Chains A and B, each alone.
Chain A
């Protein structure tokens, strides 16, 4: 009896884990290594693969479009962070208990629930130079019209702005939840000490919102590096490739009319993966520490 129980307890986790691990290995873990391997080949996706060593990476070093994409990724990463203070701001604005507040909160959260395809279409339309709402409003002040999505300097900022809309909503909801859990006694104590406004926010509220801020940073970085949908829908990388990001450029190289260059595309993906890896490692280290601290 006791041995069978012991066996059961050592076999049970294997059985419970097997399906998930098999699926995950097959579709997620192995493909990462396959991509690394493919990046060393010249391959059109159908015919024979030709081994070319590091040639794809060497070519990348001289690829103007690669640097444009990389630069845009950095801009995305930096500007996307604005979603965090913006989300906090809206959360503070909405953290009241007036009539209908629940509905207001859900409506503010709305942009996050709808697909990025819809967000992209909505904003393409918002920016349209002849009738878009943006230019109508600019027109009232005697400005414009501006062609945001057709202008090499502005296009990336225009797309990021569209992306900030749902992302801010996401951060807002994280902070609203966080604010609900803030210890009221500490706030009262702070009030007795005459802490107000900024000081209160900075010294008493924000430290307690740390978990929310952490999650907000995590999801915002991921969102910024995954920025594919909006670029694809709003500009398809244009004009003249000026709004490409690595995720989109990779797709373009591998699948579009520019040539089915799987190997080259995989090389770009490996670079993107390595950038992400820095960040994943940071996250795992933090998680490991938290687990140990339990």
Chain B
């Protein structure tokens, strides 16, 4: 292991390391800790400029129920769910199939199609913005969660196909060959042999896509407006404009918006990191 395991060092150094660790962590998360603390302060503290002293009262329940009852934050959250879940399902369905096709079959143009997905995945969003907005308007899907989800499915398919194809390539080919010799139909090979083996990849991508889409802000502002369809990222930004100087509410809203991906991350950490670090180890 590198660096040298701390157990092999002097006691003094071990003590130092163990003290440095929590201090470093607190410094690293300081901005977030500050937000969490502010989200339970009272409006009085905020106007009096008492940001860093002891709170005069703890308004945890009041602030958090405030943002749900007096603002459409609940709506925004629900919209995010309605965009994110179908996107995850749609993207996985498309990319499992396309990844399978690109990994298993040798045909002319295989590499070309694969590179199209890879390259498309890297393009700056701005080059798609005007046409995609226009398309969505023409289909009558502007300002709807469907319009937003459809675009996300298409775009994320690029990255997911890359991921799935490489994953399937690492599976033993003999499996497929053996099945073919037995006369198993191609779609059955996909469904009964490959798909069950893809579970770790599916889990990794599901977690990753959930986070990406939940946190998307750009497309939310381009394709939606108003509380009936805006996801929480865009919603939080418009609320921030209304809550001038109501930092306790902005903080509470930020925490609520950040919660779902954070929860998913902590629950499914292993899959999340597996997805993110694909390719980081040869």
Task: Report which A residues bind B (CB closer than 8 A).
Answer: 5, 8-10, 12-13, 16-17, 19-21, 23-24, 26-32, 34-35, 38, 45, 92-93, 95-98, 104, 106-111, 113-118, 121-123, 125-126, 130-131, 133, 136, 165, 170, 173-175, 177-182, 184, 187, 200-201, 204-205, 211-212, 214-215, 222, 225-226, 228-229, 232-233, 246-247, 250-251, 254-255, 262, 265-266, 268-270, 272-273, 276, 279-280, 283-284, 287-288, 291
Cα A130 to Cα B49 with chains together (Å)? 9
Task: Point out the residue from B7, B28, B115 that lies within 8 Å of A108, measured CB to CB.
Answer: B28
Q: Is the CB of B3 within 8 A of A95?
A: yes
Report A171 CB to chain B, min CB distance, Å.
10
Cα A13 to Cα B165 with chains together (Å)? 13
Q: Give the 9 A-B CB pairs with smallest separation, nearest first.
A: A27-B154, A20-B98, A31-B131, A16-B101, A115-B215, A34-B131, A13-B105, A177-B277, A12-B186
Q: Is the CB of A13 within 8 A of B276?
A: no
Q: Is the CB of A170 within 8 A of B124?
A: no
Cα A225 to Cα B126 with chains together (Å)? 11
Q: What mask results when residues 3 to 30 of chain B are scored 1 for a CB within 8 Å of chain A, else 0?
A: 1011100000000011001001100111
Cα A265 to Cα B132 with chains together (Å)? 14
Report B139 CB to chain A, min CB distance, Å.
11
Cα A174 to Cα B94 with chains together (Å)? 27
Task: Point out the residue from B110, B117, B127, B280 that lies within 8 Å of A177, measured CB to CB.
Answer: B280
> Counting CB contacts under 8 A, is B54 at the interface?
no
Chain A's closest residue to B169 (CB) is A294
Q: Is the CB of A122 within 8 A of B32?
A: yes
List, sorted by A's number, 22 A–B pairs whose CB atoms are closer than 8 Å. Answer: A20-B94, A23-B94, A24-B158, A28-B123, A31-B135, A34-B130, A34-B131, A98-B6, A98-B17, A98-B18, A104-B21, A122-B34, A122-B35, A125-B38, A126-B31, A212-B280, A214-B279, A247-B126, A255-B222, A262-B130, A276-B123, A284-B119
Report A238 CB to chain B, min CB distance, Å.
14
Cβ of A266: which chain B residues have Cβ within 8 Å of it?
A: 127, 130
| Given A27-B154, A28-B128, A45 contacting B236 (CB threshold 8 A) | no
Q: Is the CB of B281 within 8 A of A187?
A: no
Cβ of A92: which chain B residues have Cβ within 8 Å of it?
A: 2-3
Contact-residue bracket for chain B: 35 or more
Q: Is the CB of B2 within 8 A of A107?
A: no
Chain B's closest residue to A170 (CB) is B276
Main secondary structure on B side of the interface with A: helix
Cα A184 to Cα B1 with chains together (Å)? 6
> Counting CB contacts under 8 A, is B67 at the interface?
no
Cα A270 to Cα B124 with chains together (Å)? 9
| Given A114-B261, A254-B130, A178 contacting B281 (CB threshold 8 A) | yes
Task: Report which B residues bind A (CB closer than 8 A).
Answer: 1-3, 5-7, 17-18, 21, 24-25, 28-32, 34-35, 38, 49, 51-52, 93-95, 97-98, 100-102, 104-105, 107, 110-111, 113, 115-120, 122-132, 134-135, 150-151, 153-155, 157-158, 161, 180, 183, 185-187, 190, 211, 214-215, 217-218, 221-222, 233-234, 236-237, 240, 247, 250-251, 254, 257-258, 261-262, 265-266, 269, 273, 276-277, 279-282
Report A192 CB to chain B, min CB distance, Å.
14
Task: Point out the residue from A9, A131, A173, A232 that lies within 8 Å of B105, measured CB to CB.
Answer: A9
Task: Point out the residue from B128, B215, B218 that lies within 8 Å of A31, measured CB to CB.
Answer: B128
Cα A174 to Cα B273 with chains together (Å)? 9
Q: Is the CB of A122 within 8 A of B31?
A: yes
Chain B's closest residue to A230 (CB) is B217
Q: Is the CB of A272 within 8 A of B51?
A: no
| Given A17-B113, A24-B158, A113-B262, A35 contacting B130 (CB threshold 8 A) | yes
Task: Point out the residue from B124, B150, B266 that lies within 8 Å of A225, measured CB to CB.
Answer: B124
Q: Is the CB of A12 within 8 A of B101?
A: yes
Report B256 CB to chain A, min CB distance, Å.
10
Report A178 CB to chain B, min CB distance, Å.
5
